[in-house]
Chains A and B, each alone.
Chain A
Amino acid sequence: MALAEGVLQLIEDAAHQQEFKKVTTVWLEIGQLSGVEIEAMSFCFDAVTRDSIAAGARLEIIALPGSGWCMACSETVPMTELFGECPQCGGYQLQVTGGTEMRVKELEVA
């Protein structure tokens, strides 16, 4: 998957700037509404990093909950899917406010 390549690129850039040669753990923040499948990401991460500085690194996923602003209820409500309904009023007038993140948070390096 393409996103795993993006993760590796950010790691390689950091390695270049901060002069480390081995990555042992990678923390990713992945929003529930980002469309990223954790299993696919883990699988691809292993494949993409096989011959890289991050070969064998542990992948830690921090899942961030989805949330949206419901116009009808005038409040922030939890969301579990991108085009889902408001859990309070059942309406679809929801604007996503959180949960679409795809970020490399930090690395443990040696």
Chain B
Amino acid sequence: MSSDNAPHFSSRDAVVCRGVGKTWAAGTKRAHHALADINLDVAPGEFVVFLGPSGCGKSTLLYLIAGLEDATEGRLWSFGDLVETPSPQRSLIFQETSLFPWLTVWENVSFGLSIRGASKEERRTVAAEALQRVGLKAAMDKRPDELSGGMRQRVAVARALAMRPKVLLMDEPFAALDVQTRARMQEFLLDVWRDSGASVLFVTHHIDEAVALADRVVVFTSRPGRIKTIVPIDMPRPRNLFSREAESLRIQLTDLLRDEVDRAFAEQEAFAVPA
């Protein structure tokens, strides 16, 4: 049997986490244990949603999977290879907008290609195609500060798609959008996901969003974030979010989350009161 510490892992899953944990600023006074004991397997083409109270380490886990930060405990693999550095195979869409303000929309979208030294025509074609998918082809030559927050987030999605990633990591990408726009973006994301065949790991606070999107919902505990339960959702797509099944899922997830949020608040209160 191969050891868990081997650089190659027998499983060809899109993401494999074994005993993963993260302590920020480890070894200093400000050390903060953000994440612990994460064991998770994400199949190729699977849509997994992370749900958990604020500050429980969801973003941290995405950073670890993206390879932007090193895990302080455990190991991660992607398609059998140890995750050590970032890779174009795993695109991360950040919680805050992260477009380059000095580049036009299409230059932003094709930034990854320009890194590889692609020609201008090729970059423009790819950018146009990716922007077409997010419905922003008309805004190609605009600058990010000329766009609304939602449009910027869509450009960020287009930029991630232009890399043709096998794993798409999304950190609350639609948090700032209004309900209608968010619903449209969810539909659009599901289309993109189906077309691309990529695995999606999607962080959200919204239970509705989790029910609308996920194959599996991973619910986190607070401080340090651990996996509390994994709730599979078998509803066929397109989903009827007003069905009895959807309703009972919402109730189940709300209950799971409420306990954790209560606990997180109680702990924060305890921290705030001087001993």
Is chain B found bound to chain A in the same assembly?
A: no
Instruction: Name B's A-contacting residues (CB within 8 A).
Output: none
Q: Which residues of A contact B (CB under 8 A)?
A: none
